[in-house]
Amino acid sequence: MMSISYVSIALGLLLLAVPGCLVFLLDRTSIPRVLMAFARMVVQLALLGLCVWGLYKFDSVWLNLLGLLLLSTVSSVVVVQRAHLRPGLMLLPVTAAHLLSVAVVGAWLLLIVLKPERPLSAQSMVPVMGVLAAHIIPAGIRALSTFYESLRGQSQPYRVQVGNGVGHWRSLRPYLRQSLLAITGSMVSSLSVIGLFALPLLFSGQLLGGVPPLQAAAVVGVLTAGCIAASLLFVLLALLFADRKVFDRRGNYTDVK
């Protein structure tokens, strides 16, 4: 197991002097923005480290579940804001969809696939649930924004279908297809370069933690499949949970943008 001292952290952060010098020499006007971004990163890492430290220290199942609820709420706020959706209408269904998708896929991975000695401990739940929750955010933003934007700009085909007696969800099928295509394309691209982008994060992190290389590669593959499943499940659940708020019994659409 690797340990790092405060002196080592300071020496590691000195590597930021290289891009700092380049910014100073080439574009001094961007220095305040760079410093602000760095300060936000430090604060976020400090808060994240403090929260995870608390979960690891107390290692309570109920506290872990509370942390999952908090993580889903924060992630859903980000999705709603970045997708430019109305929080009053969409925050609750998006949070429920996020929480349920992470819980279902995470439970499948922990209890059936990976099967660690203590699947409900903080050491097992935090990494798996955290990876799933983080992967859902960009996919959810892209999918929900595409769905409601296309419905907002081209709602006439839906109204015609409903007016002719076609079922509600069947009339929404073209919009749902656009939404899923918006994220499946990026998923295919990420799968084709998983060795380049997943290795520095999941794979290298496991190697630093002492996991054998072949086992680390297998875990990366399993978690990647879980992330894709959780993202697609989230989109479907979010649209399902928000349906009654977005559409009335006659199929009339309420703009959520």
The string of pLDDT tens digits covering residues 152-191 is 878 788 888 887 888 888 888 989 998 888 887 777 666 6
For the chain, how many structural domains are there in total? 2
Domain boundary among the residues 24, 40, 58 is at 58
How far is it, in rounded angstroms, from Cα 138 to Cα 69? 19
Lowest average pLDDT, out of 42-51, 85-94, 106-115, 124-133, goes to: 42-51
Count how many residues are written for the chain: 257
Statement: the pTM of the whole predicted model exceeds 0.95: no
Q: What is the model's pLDDT at position 156?
A: 82
Q: Which token pair is 48?
A: 């994240």
How far is it, in rounded angstroms, from Cα 201 to Cα 250? 48
Assess contact for 95 and 73: CB atoms under 8 A: yes
Q: Provide the pLDDT confidence category of residue 200 given band limits of 50, 70 and 90.
A: low
Residues 137 and 50 in one domain: no
Residues 15 and 99 in one domain: no
State whether residue 89 is helix, strand or coil: helix
Rounded alpha-carbon distances, angstroms, from residue 110 to 70, 113, 195, 226: 20, 6, 23, 11
Mean pLDDT calculated for residue range 194-216: 68
Mean pLDDT calculated for residue range 106-121: 92
Assess contact for 95 and 76: CB atoms under 8 A: yes
Rounded to the nearest integer, the mean pLDDT of the chain is 84
Domain boundary among the residues 30, 58, 86 is at 58
Residue 183 in any domain: the answer is yes
Residue 181 in any domain: the answer is yes
Residues 152 and 222 in one domain: yes
| Beta bridge partner(s), residue 247 | 253
Structural domain span for residue 228: 60-246
Longest alpha-carbon distance in the chain: 71
Residues 53 and 65 in one domain: no
Residues 118 and 160 in one domain: yes
